[in-house]
Amino acid sequence: QVRLVESGGGLVQAGGSLRLSCAASGSIFSINTMGWYRQPPGKQRELVAYVTSGGTPRYADFVKGRFTISRDNAENTVYLQMNSLKPEDTAVYYCNAAHLGNYYWGQGTQVTVSS
C-alpha cells in the first residue's frame, strides 16, 4: 500500500506564501500522476494542480500564475508552492497519487488565509 502524508499548511495573511509537501511511502514501484486538490468550507473538493510522471504540470485557472507544482521522483514527493494567497484559497488541501492503477489520498492539511 501507498501512504501519503501532507505537511506545510498553516495560517497566513493575504498575499503571503506557503509551501505544501506530500511524501509517499510504502510499497512503491513507480508513482504516475501526483496532484493537489482542495476542499473549501461547504464546497466540493476541486483540483488545484497535477504533475505527470514526466514532469508536465497543469493548473486550475484560479491558481495559475500564483501556484507552482513540482515533484521529486527520487523522493516520491510532490510540492505545491503557493504565492499571493487569497482568503478564498482557504481550504483543506489533499495530496493525490496514482500508483499501479490505484489512487491514494493523504489526510489533508489545513490552509487558512486571513484578510
* pLDDT on residue 6: 97
Cell numbers linked to 30: 513507480
Distance (Å, whole) CA 78 – CA 50? 9
**Residues contacting 37, CB < 8 A, separation 6+:** 45, 46, 47, 48, 93, 94, 96
Q: For 104-115, how does the pLDDT look when each residue is reduced to its tens digit (9 = 90+)?
A: 999 999 999 999
Check pLDDT > 90 for residue 1: no
